[in-house]
């Protein structure tokens, strides 16, 4: 959501519209669904073998991304010419969408019919032929079957394809403002690749407390012996970024939006002032700013702001 604002040139935006967009974005709250994210991560491991049996060619399925947005935005972001299957859920009257872009649809068509390399997919708005619909629908049925198998570890949820569309804007999955999970996979069939997208409005899973759960702890509840020691050792080797802040200041949003190249912000910093050093937005130390012989700036830690507990230091020191 935020990228839609930041990607535009502020000078080209009419006065007041930036603030209006910020308010609109702030009003939209998309709670993450960790259980669903774990399900879709595991799903790729089930889908690849199922598609390999169906197509009899090597198959690779890679999760490209998981995003939260409105149903309208999820559908709007798809290619105008896509193969869209709308499936009913056994849980309630909610629906989800499975979308194949034309590359994946025609890759599947080529392989199943034993043909050579297909010509570039048509860019017109024509409807798909009967054989394209049949093979595309069968592909989506296998994809939905694999999703049901993955979901079986959490709940019983089956899918039944209700209709097929050639334009995502014609798909009536849920009201356009419905919070929606958009999951994109890159599917490779014998070296040919395309994208498959799941559009999951909250209305399709809202009757399942497990799937809608926002607190999920993956992994073992009781770590194996030595697991804590290994974790501490791994944490010590982890790389983190430190940020030294000399001065923070507050300005009205209108003043920030009116800044232009050449404008000067008076920080009023005394040369002897120390910087606050942050790690992951957590204040850690104060540091004196100076210059090394190499003429590069350096920060010398002078005091702790967030002391580490003694027992944790002993644990880490003993590794």
Q: Write the class of the CATH domain 29-204.
A: alpha beta
**Residue 141 — φ and ψ, nearest 5°?**
-60, -40
At a CB cut-off of 8 Å and minimum separation 6, what does 41 contact?
A: 63
| Sign of the C-alpha dihedral computed for residues 151, 102, 187 and 169 taken in this order | negative
Percentage of residues in the chain having pLDDT higher than 70: 74
Distance CA 89, CA 75 (A): 19
Whole-number Cα distances in Å, 173 to 97, 147, 198, 200, 213: 7, 18, 12, 9, 22
pLDDT confidence of residue 64: 92
pLDDT confidence of residue 207: 79
The CATH number, out of the four listed (2.40.360, 3.40.50, 2.40.50, 2.30.330), of the domain defined by the range 227-246+266-317: 2.30.330
Q: What is the total residue count of the chain?
A: 319
Span of 34-38, 222-226, 291-295 with lowest mean pLDDT: 222-226
**Which residues make up the CATH 3.40.1550.10 domain(s) of the chain?**
29-204
| Sign of the C-alpha dihedral computed for residues 76, 79, 84 and 89 taken in this order | negative
Higher-confidence residue: 52 or 284?
Answer: 52
pLDDT, tens digit, 9 for 90 and up, residues 240-291 = 888 888 888 888 888 888 889 999 888 888 877 888 888 877 778 888 888 7
Residue 319 has what DSSP assignment?
-
Give the DSSP letter string of 246-281: S------HHHHHT--TT--------TTPEEEEEETT
How remote is the C-alpha of 27 from its chain's centroid? Answer: 20
Per-residue pLDDT band at 25 (split at 50, 70, 90): low
**Which residues make up the CATH 2.30.330 domain(s) of the chain?**
227-246+266-317
Higher-confidence residue: 296 or 63?
Answer: 63
Per-residue pLDDT band at 52 (split at 50, 70, 90): very high
- Number of Cβ atoms within 10 Å of the Cβ of 8: 13
Asked whether the predicted pLDDT for residue 129 surpasses 50, the reply is yes
pLDDT confidence of residue 62: 93
pLDDT confidence of residue 122: 52
Q: Give whichever of 32-41, 42-51, 227-236, 306-315 has the largest mean pLDDT.
A: 42-51
Mean pLDDT of 220-245: 67
For the record, the structure tokens of 185 come out as 């996979």
pLDDT confidence of residue 220: 43
For residue 192, give the 3-state DSSP assignment. Answer: strand
For the record, the structure tokens of 254 come out as 């209108």
pLDDT confidence of residue 97: 93
Asked whether the predicted pLDDT for residue 31 surpasses 60, the reply is yes
Mean pLDDT of 148-171: 86
pLDDT confidence of residue 250: 85
pLDDT, tens digit, 9 for 90 and up, residues 146-159 = 999 998 888 888 89
pLDDT confidence of residue 126: 65
pLDDT, tens digit, 9 for 90 and up, residues 108-124 = 988 888 765 555 455 45
- As beta bridge partners, residue 159 has 89
At a CB cut-off of 8 Å and minimum separation 6, what does 287 contact?
A: 244, 274, 275, 276, 277, 299, 300, 301, 302
Higher-confidence residue: 203 or 282?
Answer: 203
Please, what's the b/e burial string for 298-318 (b: 16 or more CB within 10 A of its CB; e: otherwise)? ebeeeeeeeeeeeeeeeeeee
What's the whole-number average pLDDT of the chain? 78
For the record, the structure tokens of 36 come out as 């669903």
């Amino acid at each position: 959501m935020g990228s839609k604002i930041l990607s535009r040139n502020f000078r080209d935006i009419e006065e007041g519209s930036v603030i209006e967009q910020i308010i609109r974005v702030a009003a939209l709250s998309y709670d993450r669904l960790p259980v669903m994210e774990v399900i879709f991560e595991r799903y790729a491991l089930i889908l690849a073998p199922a598609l390999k049996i169906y197509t009899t060619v090597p198959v690779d399925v890679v999760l490209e991304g998981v995003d939260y947005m409105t149903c309208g935005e999820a559908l709007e972001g798809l290619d105008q010419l896509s193969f869209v299957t709308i499936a009913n859920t056994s849980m309630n009257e909610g629906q989800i969408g499975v979308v194949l872009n034309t590359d994946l649809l025609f890759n599947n068509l080529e392989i199943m019919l034993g043909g050579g390399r297909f010509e570039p997919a048509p860019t017109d708005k024509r409807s798909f032929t009967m054989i394209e619909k049949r093979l595309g629908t069968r592909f989506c049925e296998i994809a939905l079957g694999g999703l049901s198998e993955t979901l079986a570890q959490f709940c019983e949820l089956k899918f039944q394809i209700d209709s097929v569309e050639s334009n995502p804007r014609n798909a009536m999955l849920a009201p356009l403002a419905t919070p929606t999970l958009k999951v994109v996979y890159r599917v490779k069939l014998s070296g040919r690749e395309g994208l498959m997208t799941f559009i999951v409005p909250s209305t399709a899973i809202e009757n399942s407390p497990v799937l809608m759960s926002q607190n999920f702890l993956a992994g073992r509840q009781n770590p194996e012996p030595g697991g804590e020691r290994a974790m501490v050792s791994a944490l010590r080797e982890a790389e983190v970024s430190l940020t030294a802040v000399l001065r923070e200041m507050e300005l009205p949003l209108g003043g920030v939006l009116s800044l232009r190249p050449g404008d000067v912000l008076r920080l009023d910093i005394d040369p002897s002032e120390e910087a606050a050093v942050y790690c992951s937005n957590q204040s850690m130390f104060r540091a004196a700013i100076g210059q090394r012989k190499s003429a590069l700036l350096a920060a010398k830690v002078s005091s702790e702001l967030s002391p580490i507990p003694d027992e944790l230091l002993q644990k880490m020191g003993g590794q």
